[in-house]
């Protein structure tokens, strides 16, 4: 039943591309869809459920994401605040609060799409590529848990991935820029995925926080985005994108600024040799894709004409701000010191080396007429700090409340209300701007067909 509809759709789509020559990817798929699609979704490293919120907001009655399994476990503490909040918000059913390294692949249900914000770690591969279980990489490095699930699911592996990480991932490690991302790309290539990535600063697309994160999407061989990447010229693929650049348009780029390289499919070789000749030079820019082991990348700028939300727009009514968030005159001096420019001698405890440490002036108080700075995990608590936000409203200085931090990530108010204020700030420092996920989810749903979901 599905294949008839899907075949017609596929033929129409591809013939349109052919007629339009290099004109990139289509707008029309969602018009042709006639039947319901549910994308079975697994959310890893779920935190308080930023991906889930974004994807649920992107869902429509006929095309939707359904989280069929989620996993969140905090290694640093016995208390499991993020997981507890996740359960309070979404229920305990199909949620796992275990170290993902201990979860057997067969206990994770088969799914169409895997999403998650995994930690930025050292992904280097030591000597042997595969151990007895066919798993590569170092123990405790969480990228390899994603890899292991994809590998062990074999033909049932998800056709789509949406992953998120700090933008530093593209430049890590500092001594061999890009090596870690090259390992990720090459390992996804070996599993039969094409990959698209974009560094997205949420504020450049009208969202209330200047939070820059790299979003990585992978499309399994046979999916429509995979086929489009195979057909498009690199300059068209980068200008239009398949999903990410459609969701977050860019100013047009020209062919001459694209860098292209073939990746080794030997991860030990990448570990030792990637970018060794120019280790301080970037190998990957804000935008790029990898197809069949070759990657194409370029610097890009956002193209956005919509409304902007500022820090001032997300503030709660001043009468609702608890008094502990205000900073008194005595404390204010400490904050001013932390936020100010300074320079002093420091000694490295392990090497004994003494050097001059300098830091510039931070804006103080934080501007209300633009998007906020990035929320960091140490945002909560009353002690003076350089990185916490301080605003001035009606002549009074204060920190941001948990609801304001949630709004900067576009979460519903009180999503994290079950934890202490400091913990709530920590959880928002770890989370993502869900408006970014929502836009990606909408474009993906618009483009996806039944063929790939039901037949692949």
Ligand X SMILES: C[S@@+](CC[C@H](N)C(=O)[O-])C[C@H]1O[C@@H](n2cnc3c(N)ncnc32)[C@H](O)[C@@H]1O
- List contacts with ligand X (CB under 6 A): 45-48, 50-51, 71-75, 82, 99-101, 117, 119, 142, 430-432
Host H or E run for residue 237: helix 234-240
Write the DSSP assignment of 359-405 as a string of letters. E-PPPSSPPSSSPBPPP-GGG-SSS--SSS-EEEETTEEEEPPHHHH
Q: Based on CB atoms, which residue is closest to ligand X, 39 or 85?
A: 85
For residues 212 and 218, give the distance between their C-alpha atoms in angstroms, rounded to a whole number: 20
124 contacts: CB under 8 Å, gap ≥ 6: 138, 179, 180, 183, 271
Answer for the pair 413, 403: CB distance below 8 angstroms, yes or no: yes
Q: How far is the CB of 43 from ligand X (least distance, A)?
A: 8
Could you give the angle at which helices 434-447 and 50-58 cross, rounded to 10 degrees?
40
Q: Based on CB atoms, which residue is closest to ligand X, 100 or 136?
A: 100
Q: Based on CB atoms, which residue is closest to ligand X, 120 or 368?
A: 120
Question: Tokens for 219?
Answer: 């499309």
Q: How far is the CB of 386 from ligand X (least distance, A)?
A: 22
Which candidate in 7, 120, 332, 384 is catalytic? Answer: 120
Q: Based on CB atoms, which residue is closest to ligand X, 97 or 273?
A: 97
Give me the residue whose beta carbon is nearest to ligand X.
Answer: 47
Task: State yes or no: is 392 an active-site residue.
Answer: no
- Closest among 277, 232, 225, 280 to 258, alpha carbons compared: 232
Q: Based on CB atoms, which residue is closest to ligand X, 214 or 235?
A: 214
Q: How far is the CB of 104 from ligand X (least distance, A)?
A: 14
Question: Tokens for 211?
Answer: 């939070």
Q: How far is the CB of 129 from ligand X (least distance, A)?
A: 22
Beta strand 37-44 with 212-220 is unpaired
Q: How far is the CB of 212 from ligand X (least distance, A)?
A: 14
How many residues are listed for the chain in this entry?
456
Catalytic residue IDs = 120
């Amino acid at each position: 039943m599905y294949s008839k509809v899907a075949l017609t759709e596929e033929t129409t789509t591809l013939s349109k591309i052919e007629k339009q020559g290099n004109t990139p990817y289509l707008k029309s798929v969602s018009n042709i869809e006639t039947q319901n699609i549910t994308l079975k979704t697994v959310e890893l490293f779920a935190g308080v459920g930023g991906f889930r919120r974004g994807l649920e907001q992107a869902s429509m009655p006929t095309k939707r994401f359904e989280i069929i399994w989620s996993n969140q476990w905090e290694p640093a503490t016995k208390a499991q605040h993020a997981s507890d909040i996740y359960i309070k918000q979404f229920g305990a059913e199909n949620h796992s609060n275990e170290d993902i390294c201990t979860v057997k692949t067969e206990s994770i249900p088969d799914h169409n799409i895997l999403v998650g914000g995994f930690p930025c770690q050292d992904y280097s591969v030591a000597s042997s590529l595969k151990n007895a279980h066919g798993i590569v990489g170092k123990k405790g490095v969480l990228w390899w848990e994603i890899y292991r699930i994809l590998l062990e699911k074999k033909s049932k592996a998800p056709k789509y991935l949406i992953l998120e990480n700090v933008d530093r991932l593209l430049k890590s490690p500092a001594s061999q820029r890009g090596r870690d991302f090259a390992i990720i790309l090459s390992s996804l290539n070996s599993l039969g995925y094409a990959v698209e990535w974009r560094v997205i600063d949420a504020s450049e697309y009208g969202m209330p926080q200047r939070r820059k994160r790299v979003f990585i999407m992978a499309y399994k061989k046979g999916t429509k985005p995979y086929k489009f990447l195979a057909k498009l010229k690199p300059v068209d693929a980068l200008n239009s994108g398949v999903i990410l650049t459609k969701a977050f348009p860019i100013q047009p780029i020209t062919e001459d600024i694209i860098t292209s390289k073939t990746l080794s499919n030997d991860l030990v070789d990448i570990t030792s040799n990637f970018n060794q000749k120019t280790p301080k030079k970037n190998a990957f820019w804000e935008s790029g894709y990898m197809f069949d082991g070759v990657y194409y990348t370029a610097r890009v700028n956002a193209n956005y004409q919509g409304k902007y939300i500022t820090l001032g727009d997300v503030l709660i009514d001043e009468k609702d701000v608890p008094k502990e968030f205000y900073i008194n005159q005595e404390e204010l001096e400490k904050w001013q010191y932390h936020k100010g420019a300074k320079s002093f001698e420091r000694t490295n405890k392990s090497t004994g080396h003494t050097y001059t440490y300098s830091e510039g002036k931070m804006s103080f108080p934080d501007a209300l007429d633009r998007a906020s700075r990035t929320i960091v995990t140490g945002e909560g608590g009353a002690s003076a700090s350089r990185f916490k936000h301080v605003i001035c409203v009606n002549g009074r200085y204060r920190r941001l409340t948990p609801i304001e931090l949630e709004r900067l990530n576009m979460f519903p108010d009180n999503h994290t209300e079950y934890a202490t204020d400091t913990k709530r700030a920590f959880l928002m420092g770890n989370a993502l701007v869900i408006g970014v996920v929502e836009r990606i989810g909408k474009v993906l749903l618009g483009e996806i067909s039944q063929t790939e979901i039901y037949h692949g």
